[in-house]
Amino acid sequence: MAEGPMSVGGQAILEGVMMRSPHSLAVAVRRPNGEIVVKEDRWVSIWERARFLRKPLLRGAVVLFESLHNGMKALTFSAEEAGRGLDAESPDAKDQAPLSDMALFGTILLSLAFGFALFAALPHFLTWLAGTVLGNASLASGKDLGFQIVDGILKIGVLVGYLALISRMPDIQRVFQYHGAEHKSIYCYEDGKALTVDNARSYTTLHPRCGTSFLLITVVVSILLFSAVFPLLPTLSETKWLNQLAYVFIKVPLMFPVAGIAYEMTRLSARHPGNPIVRVFTWPGLQLQHITTREPDDTQLEIALVALQMTLRREMALQAGVALQAQQEPVVFASYPAFVAATEPPVHGIALAA
């Protein structure tokens, strides 16, 4: 199954991979006993209900929010499945309930708040403090181009440092291996090759459409946009630290156009990967992926290929005029060969969700 390509993206999770295509979202996780559990269903974007959000510069924020929502749900599912094989040692594991919608929303908000505090507020105040201590009026202003450049450099430093730090954790290293498996399998699909472990193994783990690259592009765009907007702002408080805090919160709504512009730039780079200018533009993000991806083993490639094939299965069935049923419960396969055997032919010949 390698007809295409259509737009497919993914995310590494705990012992698994999530894949999303225009009409399908699939999550594949390997349990501790070696079983592969797959959850796949039709994906309906916010765009289907509010088509104006498809417009350039608006769709980036939609994609970011949907990615956070889907990623959190996939992580919750993978954490539950990763603990199922440990019931004997952890009796409480089987009693865990999935997060409610409110709990999921709260988790997303907390994650966003943590990310904003670490990658936006901290660099802003460090730059302002440096300007205050050094007596540099530009850095102490919180508005000038010099401030935004130093702030952006600190953002990149915090981002790289944070990723390098968590990459030393064994569990995160395995997630980064699955991240590499996700990229390899997508490359294999985009290259029109059969989706097999042997074919996927030869590809690089670095992909220009990766979310890691998107984060770096977002920082660069924020420097440019903030440099244009902030010099126009008045002083909002005579108390200097309160004035800077107000500037930090002004950045919150500005992140929507930043995400929109960054998304369009990422799409453009994916369409013209061979362009010399695009190569220069995407090079820093690809280098950052040396931290966030690791070379996967064959068992991890299997999981990525399962998620990808289940996603494409629905897409190809829709193209063939076959309406697949909604998958009410996850499907469990004893092994990867069992999955391959059950999905031959791999499109709509087998009703796995029946």
Question: Would you list the DSSP string of 247-310?
Answer: HHHHHHHHHHHHHHHHHHHHHHHHH-TT-HHHHHHHHHHHHHHHHH-----HHHHHHHHHHHHH
Number of H helices, E strands in the chain: 12, 5
pLDDT band at 103 (very low <50, low <70, confident <90, very high): low
354 located within any domain: no
pLDDT the model gives residue 3: 45
Position 341: which residue type?
Answer: A
Does pLDDT of 219 surpass 90?
no
Pairing mode of beta strands 36-42, 331-333: antiparallel
Tell me: the pLDDT tens digits for 22-63? 889 999 999 999 999 999 888 888 777 777 777 777 777 788
pLDDT the model gives residue 100: 60
- Here the tokens at position 302 are 């299997």
351 located within any domain: no
More confident residue, 322 or 294: 294
Reduce the DSSP state of residue 97 to 3 states and report it. coil
Measured CA to CA, the distance from residue 114 to residue 38 in angstroms comes to: 31
With pLDDT > 70 as the criterion, what percentage of the chain qualifies? 88
353 located within any domain: no
Does pLDDT of 12 surpass 50?
yes
Measured CA to CA, the distance from residue 244 to residue 95 in angstroms comes to: 47
Mean pLDDT estimate for the chain = 83
218 located within any domain: yes
- Of 200, 195, 168, residue with least CA distance to 181: 200
Query: Would you say the C-alpha torsion 12, 340, 3, 203 has a positive or negative sign?
Result: positive
Phi-psi region at 181: left, alpha or beta (left = phi > 0; alpha = psi -120 to 50): alpha
Domain of residue 258 covers 9-342
Tell me: the pLDDT tens digits for 308-330? 999 988 888 888 777 777 666 88
Does pLDDT of 73 surpass 80?
yes
Cβ atoms of 17 and 303 within 8 Å: the answer is yes
- Here the tokens at position 141 are 């202003």
349 located within any domain: no
User: Phi and psi for 15 in degrees, rounded to 5?
Assistant: 55, 35
Number of domains in the chain: 1
Instruction: Give residue 223's Cα distance to chain centre.
Output: 22
pLDDT the model gives residue 141: 87
348 located within any domain: no
Measured CA to CA, the distance from residue 11 to residue 298 in angstroms comes to: 18
352 located within any domain: no
Lowest mean pLDDT among 175-179, 224-228, 273-277: 273-277
Cβ atoms of 148 and 155 within 8 Å: the answer is no
Cβ atoms of 148 and 230 within 8 Å: the answer is yes
2 located within any domain: no
